[in-house]
Amino acid sequence: MSAPAAKASKKELNSNHDGADETSEKEQQEAIEHIDEVQNEIDRLNEQASEEILKVEQKYNKLRQPFFQKRSELIAKIPNFWVTTFVNHPQVSALLGEEDEEALHYLTRVEVIEFEDIKSGYRIDFYFDENPYFENKTLSKEFHLNESGDPSSKSTEIKWKAGKVSVLYELSITCVCVCC
């Protein structure tokens, strides 16, 4: 019973549409213009909401800092924490060779620093003890979004000690965000 009623409704709609005159086309055009105005208001509210959310995120990022510091201090008390973390991570561990794993034994701390304008990106700093692989004490990777939303990144140049280039370079370039 409901199917024929639906067909009748479609038929009625088609017959109403076929009889559309100039006045209803004008009304339709006005409706489209009003829809555009309403959408502009929605877009303005969405932008305002984004700005408010950014302020809240910035506020809570500052409030989290002491907890991140405390967590970092506690992690420092656990021998081989970071090498264990990377070796047990499914995606990162697939990239690691034995020499990479050995180099990660010298990783003492990882920090994520969000830029003041959170929407534009963040930096990850890797802190290392003196090691036989590279000269750097800190390796950093920055991730940026430009105004059009396209991602880009840049990394610290690793100062390798003689004969010690490894997949750690790839780790610092491509997989660094997985650990955080």
Work out how many domains the chain is built from and give that number: 2
Q: Which long-range contacts (CB under 8 A, 24 or more apart) does 49-58 make?
A: 54/117, 54/118, 54/119, 57/118, 58/116, 58/118
- Report which listed range, 8-12, 34-38, 101-105, 111-115, is most confident: 34-38
One domain for residues 49 and 128: no
Band (pLDDT 50/70/90 cuts) for residue 63 is very high
One domain for residues 16 and 70: yes
Q: What residue numbers bound the domain in which 46 lies?
A: 1-77
One domain for residues 62 and 115: no
Inform me whether the pLDDT recorded for 86 exceeds 50.
Answer: yes
One domain for residues 103 and 169: yes
Inform me whether the pLDDT recorded for 169 exceeds 60.
Answer: no
Final residue of a structural domain among 77, 94, 111: 77
The CATH number assigned to the domain holding 160 equals 3.30.1120.90
One domain for residues 54 and 88: no
Inform me whether the pLDDT recorded for 129 exceeds 90.
Answer: yes
One domain for residues 86 and 53: no
One domain for residues 95 and 121: yes
Neighbours of 109 (CB within 10 A): 16
One domain for residues 51 and 93: no
Is the full-model pTM beyond 0.85? no
One domain for residues 20 and 87: no
Please give the DSSP secondary-structure letter assigned to residue 176: G
Write down the pLDDT at residue 166: 61
The mean pLDDT value of the chain amounts to: 83
Write down the pLDDT at residue 46: 97
Write down the pLDDT at residue 173: 43
Final residue of a structural domain among 27, 56, 77: 77
Spatial CA neighbour of 171 closest among 131, 136, 126, 113: 126
